[in-house]
């Protein structure tokens, strides 16, 4: 039996998710701390060989263009900086956390393909806008994480959402609200609270569909535009791909012209394959 979901039910469902590695939780909680012992954190992360290996592959990818080969988390911190390395570790850990739960009609690989494309595009947009590129990459990767919460914790409910979407040829956001009376944005915010995401990341997740509303962050604007571009490029290769409505004010706020857009499209497509090979299982 499926039906409406409440925010409290989603919060309770989060207890069923696999736990993040302790070192990653510490990284999530240390976002505003100035006295973090980097050596200790690097050592803790290194105790998870799979997490370390994937993080280092990502650090050595074309995304960062390092001229030296990074062979340890400590070395990654040295060459990329703590913020960048922390975001890499978070990205790797969170993509590993959600298993391919059976939910008819939901394609996990396509979900992550789109998330990766959005992350790469958001990073490129942030560079154009002179904004924090690593925050943009992480926010782009996690902007729809609430969908995975709903799919993992409430698969039968989400099957009903997908069926409604097919019948009405609608956007997923509309289908979620119609069937569940709640959407993936709210589910994403519940997870952000549960896993102690920074306020910066919470605002990006919460505002990426409505960057024109009062209180929406600049990062939400970047992710909103990156989301639309990633859908338009169809790197997720979804048969029912639909480009979400683009808020004109968000586009104008980033001051994009044809030349910049062409560069964004090229860069996203060029980096996508390599980054996807690292992050996708």
Can you tell me the mean pLDDT for 45-64? 87
- First-last CA distance in the chain: 32
Share of the chain above pLDDT 90, in %: 43
pLDDT tier for residue 34 given thresholds of 50, 70 and 90? low
Residue 161: the pLDDT is 95
Residues 54 and 68 in one domain: yes
pLDDT, greater one: 135 or 30: 135
Alpha carbons within 13 angstroms on the beta-carbon side of residue 248 total 0
Can you tell me the mean pLDDT for 248-262? 89
Last residue of a domain, one of 36, 71, 97: 97
pLDDT, greater one: 45 or 38: 45
Residues 90 and 148 in one domain: no
Share of the chain above pLDDT 70, in %: 95
Measured CA to CA, the distance from residue 45 to residue 54 in angstroms comes to 12
Residues 279 and 245 in one domain: yes
Q: Residues 6 or more apart from 35 whose CB is under 8 A from it?
A: none
Residue that has been written with the tokens 């569940």 in this structure: 180
Can you tell me the mean pLDDT for 101-122? 90
Residues 171 and 225 in one domain: yes
SS3 content of the chain, % helix, strand, coil (to 5): 70, 0, 30
Residues 166 and 244 in one domain: yes
Residues 149 and 78 in one domain: no
CA 179 from chain centre, in angstroms, equals 24
Last residue of a domain, one of 97, 112, 138: 97
pTM over 0.85, yes/no: yes
Can you tell me the mean pLDDT for 136-141? 92
Residue that has been written with the tokens 């962050």 in this structure: 217
pLDDT tier for residue 167 given thresholds of 50, 70 and 90? very high
Tokens representing 95 are 């993509």
Residues 168 and 29 in one domain: no
Contact 25, 196 (CB under 8 A): yes
Is the pLDDT confidence value at 29 over 70? no
Residues 151 and 279 in one domain: yes
Residue 229: the pLDDT is 93
Residue 178: the pLDDT is 95
pLDDT, greater one: 212 or 100: 212
* Torsion (CA) 64, 141, 252, 263 in degrees, nearest 10: 40
**Tens digit of pLDDT for each residue in 187-231?**
999 999 988 888 888 999 999 998 888 778 999 999 999 999 999
Is the pLDDT confidence value at 31 over 80? no
Last residue of a domain, one of 73, 97, 121: 97
Measured CA to CA, the distance from residue 36 to residue 48 in angstroms comes to 20
Give me the phi and psi of 247, to 5 degrees please: -75, 120
The domain of 190 spans: 1-17+101-281
Measured CA to CA, the distance from residue 45 to residue 73 in angstroms comes to 8
């Amino acid at each position: 039996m499926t039906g409406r979901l409440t925010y409290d039910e989603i919060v309770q469902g989060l207890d069923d998710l696999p736990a993040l590695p302790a070192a990653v939780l510490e990284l999530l909680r240390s976002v505003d701390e100035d006295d973090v012992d980097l050596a200790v954190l690097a050592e803790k992360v290194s105790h998870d060989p799979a997490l370390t290996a994937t993080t280092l592959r990502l650090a050595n990818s074309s995304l960062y263009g390092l001229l030296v080969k990074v062979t340890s988390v400590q070395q990654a911190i040295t060459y990329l900086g703590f913020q960048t390395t922390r975001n890499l570790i978070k990205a790797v850990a969170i993509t590993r956390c959600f298993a391919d739960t059976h939910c008819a009609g939901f394609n996990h690989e396509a979900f992550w393909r789109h998330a990766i494309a959005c992350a790469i595009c958001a990073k490129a947009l942030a560079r154009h806008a002179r904004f924090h590129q690593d925050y943009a990459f992480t926010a782009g990767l996690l902007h729809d994480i609430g969908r995975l919460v709903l799919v993992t914790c409430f698969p039968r409910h989400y099957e009903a959402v997908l069926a409604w979407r097919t019948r009405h040829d609608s956007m997923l956001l509309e289908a979620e609200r119609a069937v569940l009376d709640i959407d993936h944005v709210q589910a994403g915010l519940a997870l952000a609270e549960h896993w102690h995401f920074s306020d910066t990341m919470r605002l990006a997740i919460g505002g990426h569909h409505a960057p024109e509303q009062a209180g929406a962050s600049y990062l939400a604007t970047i992710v909103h535009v990156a989301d639309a571009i990633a859908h338009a490029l169809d790197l997720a290769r979804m048969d029912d791909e639909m480009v979400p409505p683009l808020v004109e004010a968000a586009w104008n706020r980033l001051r994009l012209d044809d030349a910049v857009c062409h560069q964004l499209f090229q860069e996203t497509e060029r980096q996508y394959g390599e980054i996807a090979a690292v992050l996708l299982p």
